[in-house]
Amino acid sequence: MAGRLVNTKSAGAVAIIAIAAAMAYVALHRGGLASPESSSPGNPPYESAKTSASANHDTAIVTGTYAAPQQVDVIAEPPIAAVAPGQRFALTLSVAPRANMHVYAPGADGYKTVALTIAPNPYVHARPLAYPASEIYEFKPLNERVAAYQKPFTLVQEMTLDGSAATRAALRDQRSLTINGRFDYQACDDGTCYNPASIPLTWTIDLK
C-alpha cells in the first residue's frame, strides 16, 4: 500500500513538471517570458535564443556582413542617380530571413511586426510605406496562423527632397546627404521566438 502511494505521488510530480514545461514553452513562443539570458542554463531551447545586445546594433549589418547568430540579412541601398531639390526618390531595404527563420508582417497580432522608420531630417520627407504581400506562417503547437515573411523581401521607402528656397540654399555646396533610419522586427524559428530587435540604417544620396 505504501509503495502505491509513493508511485502515485511520483506520477503526480511528473505530470506537474510536464504541464509547467508546456506552459513555459507556449509563453516563450508568444514573447511572454523574460529574456533568455535569465533562464536556467543547459536548456537547449533557451540556449539557442541567446543573442548579444551589441549584435543587434552592429553597423556592419547594413551591408549584410555580420556573424552567424543574427536572424536576418539586410542591405540598405540608396538611389542610383543623384537627386535634386523637389525631386522624388526611393530608399531600398532588402531583407532576407536566415534559414528556418521568419519575421512577422503587419497584421500579426501579438508580435512585433517589421517596421521601417526614417529619422527626422529637415531636408527630406518620407511618404507612407507600402509593405509587400506576406504569407501565412502556421505554428501547429498553438494552431496559430499569422502573417509573416519567410522568404527574402524588399521595402521601398518613397522620399522627397525638399524643394524650398531655404533647402536649396542650405544644400547648394553639398555633394551628398546622409539619411538615417531603423529597421525593427521580431524573428522566430520553429521552436523559439527571439526578443524584438532594431537595426540602425544609413543611406547616403548624391545631390545634383
**pLDDT tens track for 37-84:** 333 333 223 223 333 333 333 333 333 333 335 789 999 999 999 999
Q: Is residue 34 part of a domain?
A: no
CATH for 142? 2.60.40.1250
pLDDT of residue 132: 95
Q: Which helix (H) or strand (E) holds 147?
A: strand 144-149
Tell me how many domains the chain contains.
1
Average pLDDT over residues 5-31: 40
> Quick check: is 150 in a domain?
yes
Q: Within a domain: residue 9?
A: no
> Which band of pLDDT confidence, cut at 50, 70 and 90, is reported for residue 168?
very high
The residue segments making up the domain with residue 168 are 56-206
Query: How do residues 62-71 score in pLDDT, each as one tens digit?
Result: 333 333 357 8
Alpha-carbon gap, residue 64 to 73, rounded angstroms: 5
Residue 89 lies in a domain: yes
Alpha-carbon distance values, 154 to 48, 109, 134, 150, 167 (Å): 27, 22, 11, 12, 30
> Whole-angstrom Cα distance, residue 167 to residue 206?
15
The reply to whether 172 falls in a domain is: yes
pLDDT (0 to 100) of residue 141:
74
Query: Grid coordinates in use for 116?
Result: 521601417
Residue 7's pLDDT band (cuts 50, 70, 90):
very low
Q: Is residue 164 part of a domain?
A: yes
Residues of the chain with pLDDT > 70, as a percent, come to 66
Residue 109 lies in a domain: yes
Is residue 112 a part of any domain in this protein?
yes
